[in-house]
Chain A
Amino acid sequence: MTAEGTGPVMAAGRYIGQSVRRREDPRLLTGRGRYVDDVIVPGMLHAAFVRSTVAHGQLRGVDTEAARALPGVVAVLTAADLNPGLRPMWQTMMGPMAPSAPFRPLADADVRYVADPIALVVAENRYIAEDAAELVAADIEPLAPVLEVGAALDGAADLVHPELGSNLAGEIPAAASPALDAAFGDAAHVVTETFYQHRYVCVPMETRGLVAQWDPASEQLTVWAATQGPHEFRAICARILGLPEAHIRVIMGDVGGGFGQKMFPMREDIAVVLATRRLGRPVKWIEDRNENLLSGGHAREEQMTVSVATDDAGHFTGVRADQVENVGAYPFPGNGSTAGAGSLIFPGPYRIPALSYGAKAVYTTTCGRCAYRGPWMMETVAREQMVDVVARRLGIDPLELRRRNVISPAELPFTTATGMVYDTVSPAETLEQAAALIGYDAFREQQAAAREEGRLLGIGLALYIEPSQSFGPLGTEGATVRLEPDGRVALIMGTASHGQSLETTMAQVVAENLGCDIADITFIQGDTAFVPYGAGTGGSRSAVVSAGAARQAALGVRERIVALAATVLEVAPSDLEVADSAVAVRGDPASAMPFAKLAALAYFEHATLPDGAPVTLEVSERFKAPPFTFSNACHAATVEVDPVTGHVSILRYVVSEDCGVMINPMVVEGQIAGGVVQGIGGVLYEHMVYDADGNPLTSTFLDYLLPTAAEAPVIEYGHVETASRLPGGAKGMGEGGAIASPPALANAINDALSPLGIHLASQPMSPSAIVTAIMARDDAS
């Protein structure tokens, strides 16, 4: 359901702005997708990992004899086999100097989290590999686990990585600011709160996995990978193995979701690549769900203390933030910290004159962090909950407090205290649109009436600004558009679409800008042997950078087709127009030359063309985007909390989204919805729990609970379209749904509980947690 936007509405083109049905769908709907576990390579062997069952311990020895003797087992590899001789591991976007955990494919002297891979079994099938894995005896002498960030830092706990000398993985010191001190000194109100966010995880429906094939004769490596970034996979393999990139081919077929977990190859991936090199036979590893939950990469576990200084009308005059991230043992990328990005984006859509942001990232003996949809999002989770805390403390309605502090259109371009420049954002408009859509004022009346009956209704808002990440190595993307001899179009891109519908949206961009029928476009991605370099699909960047490249390349081909037609028709290029895969003289439809005819001329019949006639109908472009392009949204949620069971019913959920010109509104709404339900899952259902010994308690879907269709609310959308300054006017938006939904929901729940004098500053807000708070308050009174 889409409401009328209050912002400027872009006129839809033939394809841009249309909810074109997806070209990916026919094969995916009929079971003809090609995911990595569908890949069969002759002679392929199957891998299974032996993993630590202890969170922290000395690895005294690994006895593989019984495992190796099992019929059907080809090899059992340990650290001694795989770890030596590797060059440093670092991710392109981080650079070689970024702090990171030590990299080792397999545990050697010790184990540093439960599920730490100790040995790799390679066998004729996965059943046998698992049988053999059970026969490997790892002699582990347990050590005390390191689980709490406080204990990890205060010197009482062991070092997770003795070779690093500290459990502090990284630090951003809060900058001293006399202006900020003054703001706090002069403030009418200072409000401080600490917010705790629990550990929850990506859970793509397809786990990680790869098939790696080393050809000793040509010294070439081929990898079929469930990846969000085939070129990054290639680059990292090239680096650590010391191979030329061109000797490595990474092929990404269909991938069943990633959400950040498949952005970078991790230890297991590298171990499998090393195994194929050693054995000279192809090796397939498909992670099972238990492994994915325990070792695929964790996220979100952090806390942030926020102090806000305001004047007596509630205007923010200064904010301090102090963050601690639990990055686990082996995080990716780098040291797993996202505080750098968080520190820049923390002011969000508000006027905050002075700000300081300090952060620490801490290693623990738990699964390492990976990127998860909006990895830095704690800044929004803490900030938006804090706005409501300040509102409650000052006795101002949270909507009103936001109205007083949100950046208004008149203030654009606006430079934040952290140096971010916003010029085409619309937070105030989305705030008003979301409030109107959800019927904020009417709800307050409903809420008051319900309170008379003892029912707990609540409403919550969250505003945020989302960066499309195109800084540094993420700043460019490539596209090749080629008119084929038959007159159809090949679109070859370095994208890694795995649910983002780029096969459709990029084709829309090309069809619109080239003037061809979208049905004539074949989209090719994912094979590093053929496609332009891509930085990976994630980071909300495709609509900016990838679309930019597609557009540029399409316009380039259009120019050439027009030039060729102008030569043939003996008219000026400006007299021609292009539509429906044909070029015609404006006003003279009979003159139309179909692309097929022009292609035939260029490829085959060029002898009939005058000298110098253009015959190259293929353009490759790399598009460079500015480091950040900002989209923004406001989420609004209403809930009812059952005081007996603590069950939270989401009554309505509204998103007012501004991502500039929407290439495909249906796709935009789908991306929002997926993120929103992940955020709802985080607040209400999902919790990756470790016990006091560092054993994970939520290791299957029986205990790690994902929301289902029965728990998902109906999501209502409003759109504001403030074009970016880039050609085409689009902005990225894929992560935002997961960023703003947790604080919107948390705010709604706290609003519902506020008459009971209860405020929850921790997630998850499970039924048991809510009731425990209610019971504690009942006991106290």
Chain B
Amino acid sequence: MADHVTETREAPEQGVSVAQVSMTVNGTPRRATVESRKTLADTLREDFGFTGTHLGCEHGVCGACTVIVDGAAVRSCLMFAVQAEGADVVTIEGLTPPGGGLSTVQQAFREEHGLQCGFCTPGFVVSVTAYLRDNPAPSDAELRDALSGNLCRCTGYQGIIAAARRAARELAEEQQ
């Protein structure tokens, strides 16, 4: 939070450099006062305490910051919190099933050793969750292409691809 910029200017023609933003995060309404330049990623981490969203590059390439905004997987480092005013945001923390434990996608990552250091993992889990929801039966090539927007340095992607494939299969079975 910007201690030294205290005014929320009320003259809209001048724009605002500090604003109060409201959004729903993981099902709960949240509010924060942030500089207009503060990214959604930083706001989620610092103002709302959801540190599961990670910063790997801050220029929109690595995908470690992926969250779901109004139903779509996006890079939260490329959004300002003010742009998410009124939005419905789901972070990795919001993917835990209501009874606790691991979601189908998360469990698939565990079964297939789809993570090692875990830093890229929330971004992958969120991306895979969003992708399979909209594309439940991807081909292998489509899956690899979909995964190409997230970078991992530890796994060589073997476990990640296997996990995504397994999750697709298990989610499809759950639908039946």
Contact = CB atoms under 8 A, between A and B. Distances in A.
A133 to B, nearest CB: 15
Contacts, number: 187
A673 B3 contact: no
A501 interface: yes
Contacts of A711: 148
A33 B92 CA distance: 11
Nearest to A289: B57
B156 A708 contact: no
Contacts of A667: 113
B37 interface: yes
Interface stretch (B7-15, B120-128, B168-176): B120-128
Contacts of A127: 2, 35, 37-38
B153 A29 contact: no
Contacts of B51: 31, 34-35, 37-38
B125 to A, nearest CB: 6
Q: Which bracket fits the contact residues of A?
A: 35 or more
A253 to B, nearest CB: 11
Contact of A29 (B4, B109, B160): B109
Given A22-B113, A127-B2, A205 B102 contact: no
Contacts of A737: 156
Contact of B119 (A256, A500, A709): A256
B52 A32 contact: yes
B51 to A, nearest CB: 4
Which of B3, B62, B144, B157 gathers most chain A CB within 10 Å? B157
A676 B155 CA distance: 9
Interface stretch (A80-88, A395-403, A573-581, A699-707): A699-707
A422 interface: no
B76 interface: no
Contact of A30 (B55, B92, B158, B159): B92
Interface string B27-67: 00000000101100000010000111111111101101000
Nearest to B149: A708
B152 interface: yes
Interface in A1-56: 19, 21-22, 24-26, 28-35, 37-38
Contacts of B20: none
A283 B78 CA distance: 26
Which secondary structure characterizes the binding site on chain A?
A: loop
Nearest to A27: B118
B59 A289 contact: yes
Which of B37, B92, B117 gathers most chain A CB within 10 Å? B117
B110 to A, nearest CB: 4
A29 B117 contact: no
Interface string B128-159: 00000000000000001101111111111111
B118 A712 contact: no
B111 interface: yes
Contact of B154 (A30, A128, A499, A714): A499
B153 A289 contact: no
Given A127-B38, A499-B116, A709-B147, A206 B54 contact: yes
Which of B50, B54, B153 gathers most chain A CB within 10 Å? B153
A259 B2 CA distance: 36
B154 A257 contact: yes
A29 B115 contact: yes
A466 to B, nearest CB: 17
B99 to A, nearest CB: 13
B3 A29 contact: no
Nearest to A256: B119
A125 interface: yes
A348 B142 CA distance: 41
A706 B157 CA distance: 12
Interface string A725-751: 000000000000100000000000000
A29 B110 contact: yes
Given A31-B91, A289-B57, A708-B147, A701 B102 contact: no
B93 interface: yes
Contact of B121 (A29, A288, A678, A715): A29
A499 B35 CA distance: 35
A30 B106 contact: yes
Which of A34, A205, A206, A715 gathers most chain B CB within 10 Å? A205
Contact of A71 (B4, B35, B56, B91): B4
Interface in A681-707: 700-702, 706
B4 A128 contact: yes
B59 A255 contact: no
Contacts of B58: 288-289
A669 interface: yes
Contact of B57 (A24, A670, A700, A715): A700
Nearest to B52: A31
Contacts of B50: 31
Contacts of A175: none
A700 B153 contact: no
Contacts of A536: none
A702 B59 contact: yes
Contact of A25 (B1, B91, B109, B160): B109
A677 B155 CA distance: 8
Contacts of B59: 289, 700-702
Nearest to B100: A30
Contacts of B158: 669-670, 673, 712, 714-715
B155 A674 contact: yes
A675 B154 CA distance: 8
Given A21-B113, A128-B2, A257-B116, 7 more contacts: A31-B52, A31-B91, A32-B52, A37-B54, A206-B54, A257-B153, A700-B61
Interface of A: 19, 21-22, 24-26, 28-35, 37-38, 71-72, 124-125, 127-128, 203-207, 254-257, 259, 286, 288-289, 498-501, 666-667, 669-670, 672-678, 700-702, 706, 708-712, 714-715, 737
14 contacts: A21-B110, A25-B115, A26-B102, A33-B52, A72-B3, A254-B118, A255-B117, A286-B55, A670-B158, A672-B156, A673-B157, A701-B151, A708-B157, A709-B148
Q: Which 8 A-B pairs have the closest CB atoms?
A: A31-B52, A256-B119, A28-B118, A673-B156, A499-B117, A31-B92, A677-B156, A499-B116
